[in-house]
Structure 1
Amino acid sequence: VNGCTPVYLLSHHPKLSKKVFELKVNQALRKAENHPFNSIILLEAQKLLTQYGYAFQLEIGDRKIYEDYLAFKQDYLDASKSFSSALVLGKNSLRIKYPEIDQWLLNPDRIKIKFEIQHIPNLYWTAASIGGLIKAGKGSPETIVLLPQIRSLLYTALEIDPSWGNGRIYTALISYTMSEFPTSREKIESVKYYFDEAVRLSNGTDAGPFVAYAESVSIKNQDKEEFIRLLNKAVTIPSTDDEEINLQNHIAGNHAKWLLSRTDELFY
């Protein structure tokens, strides 16, 4: 197992992969518990726990919704707990450098913080943790009120360095923007710009923007041809020398395959 990459495990041994990832998460959580004032260690635990929530709890839960509704509900409940814990880690990590972070998240127009470039990952993963919490909560009132915080975190990160993570902020903005109500022509034009920038900055090596746009925009517009084209692109992106990108692409590719399998029910 030690000699296998996460992508190899996900591809060939999905159950083992989940156990290995759980082990990594638990190790990171123990380390964070032992180093509560080390922002880098807290961030790593948050990142792993958030990735686990998306890749192994929400993703697996989605596949059970029609065949085992009780199991689906349990996976989403477990994911909610993961994202909630990840959000606590993220806030604790940011609070070390920015003690006003809680007040800023509630009222960014009144509370001013000058974030440093090295803390873009903290902003990004805290937004991702909140996004996961909202999805796991199925848009419940107690989670949907957190939506403006995602906007503040992502736009702040974007202002500092739009190219960070090879366009990952733009990819996150695709899903976030389309989750806001109401949807307008201007909003869809903005999302198209985010998509183009994410693809440009990643040189087309990131499956994320293709999946995000297909799921957020193509379905809403009932553009079946675009939906299939984007998802087929996502599942055929070749591997890179960056194992982190390969892992992201494998997870996004799995989601793309699942969406493609539901094409007939998503388009009517």
Structure 2
Amino acid sequence: MRTEPVKSVGFLLVLLAGTVLVTSCSLNQIAINAVANVLSGDGGSSTFTTDDDPELVGASLPFALKMYETLLEQTPDHEGLLLATGTGFISYANAFVATPASMLSYEQWEKQQADQIRAKKLYIRGRDYLIHALHVRYPGFTDALESTEPDAVEQLQLILDEMDTDDVPYLYWIGAGWVAAFSLDAFDLELAFTVTKAHALVLRALELDEAYSDGAIHDFLVQYYASLPPSMGGDKEKAEFHHQRALELADGRLAGPYVSYAESIVLPRQASVEMGEDLNAYAAGIQAVADEFVALMEQALAVDPDAYPDARLVNILTQRKARWYLEHLDEFFLLDFDTEGDAF
């Protein structure tokens, strides 16, 4: 049940005041837990996700995240607050650090690199809060996840088998943060050697609730299977399957599946267009890939953000990226092609 924002804010202020006034340690802990419950409830998150002003949300989230961390110092095992903090850091890193960095010009290369390093740290920070949350729920989870012993995989699987649908958000967001961090630094050997563990967690989430968050798990797996080489588990056929399922579950309400597919599957296809002696055929092949890419971006832009308030913010942000792609199409496709000579 969603909490009304105005009531949440009023109640929160009363509770925060209470933490200052009480002197008993037990009462103070009760007050802190009550604040944590309010902040980690559905009402708190929907205040952000239903907003139509990305700049306002982007400016507000750092303060909210530091407030969460302050509370976690007093109540470090609060599962709901750990979930809110972990997902908050990962969401902030993606929406307001990594994605804007990916859209910077070549002249801003140094800033892009700095922002990507920052985003990687934020992804890992969020992931680690969520790992701790599952450790609270399942003692031994962290040890099994981090172990390099021969039986580590078996031990981790035993714990995963105990989990239920309540654990799906933790599993999904751990995997999302883990893989996102790796995508920004493929030369990080620790991430490279452990990314398969992130995959295992996401697959368990898929088994428990494939429809979670309107198909978010399937959309994640599109990008996972499409971006990795076969030696690391990449599989284009699986990516295609998960894209179709993501579309079915989103039911036209989300722009994300169109952009994810365009980025992960369609854009790389131009590399498979053979450049033979017939330059006209090559140019036509590149144009066909570009046309499909554009069509997907236009489908993303056709989604009405107000038709599905729960995903209003993410749709607005995704559509912003789709527009950017359309405005910078010539940076991704060699469209001005001289079929009498060379590309120009």
Query: What is aligned with 2:77?
Result: 37
User: Aligned letter for 1:201?
Assistant: L
Counterpart selection for 1:250 from 310, 316, 320 = 316
User: Aligned letter for 1:108?
Assistant: V
Query: What is aligned with 1:207?
Result: 255
Cα RMSD, aligned residues only: 2.3
Matched, 1:8 2:56: no
Kindly, what percent of the aligned residue pairs are identical?
A: 23
Deviation, structure 1 residue 141: 2.4
Instruction: After TM superposition, list the pairs within 5 Å mapping 1:22-33 onto structure 2.
Output: 22-33=62-73
Aligned-partner Cα distance in 1 for 2:57–2:143: 39
Aligned-partner Cα distance in 2 for 1:81–1:242: 32
With the length of structure 1 as denominator, give the TM-score of the two structures: 0.88
Asked if the contact 1:150–1:176 (Cα under 8 Å) also holds between the matched residues in 2, the reply is: no
Deviations along 1:196-238, whole A, 9 cap, x unmatched? 1111112111111111110000011122222111111112211
Aligned-partner Cα distance in 2 for 1:258–1:55: 14
Counterpart selection for 2:99 from 59, 65, 70 = 59
Matched, 1:161 2:209: yes
User: Aligned letter for 1:24?
Assistant: A
Matched, 1:50 2:98: no
Deviation, structure 1 residue 95: 0.3
Deviation, structure 1 residue 158: 0.7
Query: What is aligned with 2:113?
Result: 73
User: Which sits farther off after the overlay, 246-255 or 161-170?
Assistant: 246-255
Deviations along 1:45-91, whole A, 9 cap, x unmatched? 00111010001110121122512122112211211221121121011
Q: 5+ unaligned residues in a row in structure 2: which ranges?
A: 7-46, 147-151, 271-288, 335-344
How many equivalent pairs are there? 261
Deviation, structure 1 residue 168: 0.8
Inter-CA distance 74–235: structure 2 relative to 1 (3 Å threshold) = same
User: Aligned letter for 1:156?
Assistant: R
User: Aligned letter for 1:253?
Assistant: Q
Deviations along 1:244-268, whole A, 9 cap, x unmatched? 4112212222222222233222223
Computing the radius of gyration from Cα coordinates, the structure with the larger value is 2
Tell me the SS of whatever aligns to 1:219: helix
Query: What is aligned with 1:262?
Result: 328
Aligned-partner Cα distance in 2 for 1:99–1:90: 14
User: Which sits farther off after the overlay, 236-245 or 115-124?
Assistant: 236-245
Asked if the contact 1:177–1:191 (Cα under 8 Å) also holds between the matched residues in 2, the reply is: yes
Query: What is aligned with 2:304?
Result: 238
